[in-house]
Amino acid sequence: MNRQKYLRLLLAACLLLCFAAAAIAQKEYFPPASSWEKHTPQQANFVPALLKEAIDFAIANESKLPRNLEEAHFRTFGREPYGEPVGPFKERGAPTGIVIRGGYIVAEWGEPQRVDMTFSATKSFLSAVVGLAYDRHLIRSLQDRAVDYWTATTPAGQKYDDATQYRMSRLIELYATDNNKKTTWETYLRQTSDWEGTLWGKPDWADRPDQDPNKWLTSQRTEPGAAYEYNDVRVNALALAALNVWRRPLPLVLKENVMDEIGASNTWRWFGYENSWIVLDGVNVQSVSGGGHWGGGMFINAYDMARFGLMTERGGRWRDKQILSEDFVRQAKTPTRVQPTYGFMNWFLNTDRKLYPSAPANVFAHIGNGTNVIYCDPDNDLVIVARWIENNKIDEFLKKVYASLKK
């Protein structure tokens, strides 16, 4: 075979591979806005009776906390120092969920159209708006110091007739200490920043405080990246820092660049606190919270959660558009060195199958209190939303789901 003929054959083979890849991509189903096609369990390769058994298990293992979520707050986080709610709560609905395979709805239960709090699953939406800023080069590198993107910020509604404030700064300063100046976008996202301070009336030490009160104000600061600590005050500091970069309300950024793109409804809302308002370019803007620890956060229905999950399960892509870059998704799914089951907030990883022993090692989940779970399995093209299930029952629920999936 001469060289010219060989090159023609090689080119033809490459073209065939490209056409095949395009054909496979076109076959991938993404639900259009306002509708979602369904497949039967048999079509999706599930054993119907076993899948029903898994769903019945999820319903039977409803969260034991009251459905009145403000009452639930006072039974849990409300008992912490400075634990008073400053954002809205909403009474939740019944246990709810959706199973999606190949993009199609296979099963659903409860009230999937009901808008409810999603607590710390909100953090994944916050990570998304930071990712969008990174993808658009508003943030040049996630290893950059956040202080280098920060400028003077003032709280809304200040009064200047209080003599006790004389010679005191009236600005919000997130990076006044040497320790805070070291905070990078990545250490924020991995919850390893050890940022210190008080924001919106909540001190960092008061969030899940040490059992020994003598340590509340005396703990030694660690180098950013050296220790993992799940802390909503620091998450809210990231939300304010991201607002300062975008110079637009983060819910609008999310709506236009993510939720509208994936066909989400107009019923979701992202709240901050009654005191988390700043003056931005002459306009009062609310800095949103990264969860419902003191109220607020994302209020959303299960279908919209599932759309977000399908987008992240498919590598940040929706149809032929990359919503979040492959680079950002790769970093979000990279284990945190000091907490290998955590990527970016709130991408929980199943590293070494430590999070969910009954599930494959490469799955991930966006998780919030309640428990609210958006579970993503790229190998099986499987997305599951489960709401108001006891956290310690999730692995057993997943075990039953996988038992219903034909080999």
Point out which residues pair with 297 in neighbouring strands.
271
In the numeric block, which tokens belong to residue 332?
């979000």
DSSP-derived 3-state class of residue 288: strand
2 three-state secondary structure: coil
Q: How many CB atoms lie within 10 A of CB 265?
A: 15
pLDDT at position 19 over 50: no
> Each residue of 200-213: pLDDT tens digit?
999 999 999 988 88
Percent of the residues in the chain that have a pLDDT greater than 70, as a whole number: 91
The proportion of the chain whose per-residue pLDDT surpasses 90, expressed as a percent, equals 86
Domain 36-407, CATH 2.40.30.10 — does that match? no
Buried b (16+ CB within 10 A) or exposed e, 18-57: eeeeeeeeeeebbbeeeebeebebeebebeeebbbebbeb
- Quote the pLDDT of residue 52: 98
Backbone phi, then psi, for 181, in 5-degree steps? Answer: -65, -20
- pLDDT score for 23: 44
Nearest to 28 by CA among 314, 399, 240, 328: 314
Q: Minimum mean pLDDT among 84-98, 146-160, 324-338: which range?
A: 146-160
Q: With 90 as the cut, is the pLDDT of residue 289 above it?
A: yes
Neighbour tally for 252: CB within 10 Å: 13
pLDDT of residue 21: 46
pLDDT tens readout for residues 341-375: 999 999 999 999 999 999 999 999 999 999 999 99
* CA distance from start to end of the chain: 44
Q: How many CA atoms lie within 13 A of 369 on its CB side?
A: 24
pLDDT for res 162: 62
- pLDDT on residue 361: 97
The pLDDT assigned to 357 comes to 98
| Residues 219, 73: Cα–Cα separation, whole Å | 26
Its pTM stands at 0.92
Backbone torsions φ then ψ of 126, nearest 5 degrees: -65, -45
DSSP 172: B
Give 95 or 164, the one with higher predicted confidence.
Answer: 95
- Higher-confidence residue of 210 and 279: namely 279
Tell me if 200 sits within 8 A of 276, measured CB to CB. yes
Sorting pLDDT into bands at 50, 70 and 90, what band is 134? very high
pLDDT level of residue 167 (50, 70, 90 thresholds) = low
Q: How would you write 204-239 as a 3-class SS string?
A: HHHCCCCCCHHHCCCCCCCCCCCCCCCCHHHHHHHH
pLDDT (0 to 100) of residue 215:
85
Half-sphere exposure of 6 (CA within 13 A, CB side): 3
What does the pLDDT look like over 191-240, one tens digit per residue? Answer: 999 999 999 999 999 999 988 888 888 888 899 999 999 999 999 999 99
Show me where the domains of the chain are located: 1-30, 36-407
The model's confidence at residue 14, banded by pLDDT at 50, 70 and 90, is: low
CA distances from 200 to 253, 279, 381, 400 (A): 22, 14, 40, 43
What count of other Cβ atoms lies within 10 Å of the Cβ of residue 11?
Answer: 10
| Mean pLDDT taken over the chain | 93
In total, the chain counts a number of residues equal to: 407
Q: Are 128 and 258 in contact (CB under 8 A)?
A: yes
Q: What is the pLDDT of residue 211?
A: 86
Q: Report which of residues 253 and 7 the model is more confident about.
A: 253
Q: In this predicted structure, what is the pLDDT of residue 277?
A: 98
Per-residue pLDDT tens for 21-74? 444 445 899 999 999 999 999 999 999 999 999 999 999 999 999 999 999 999
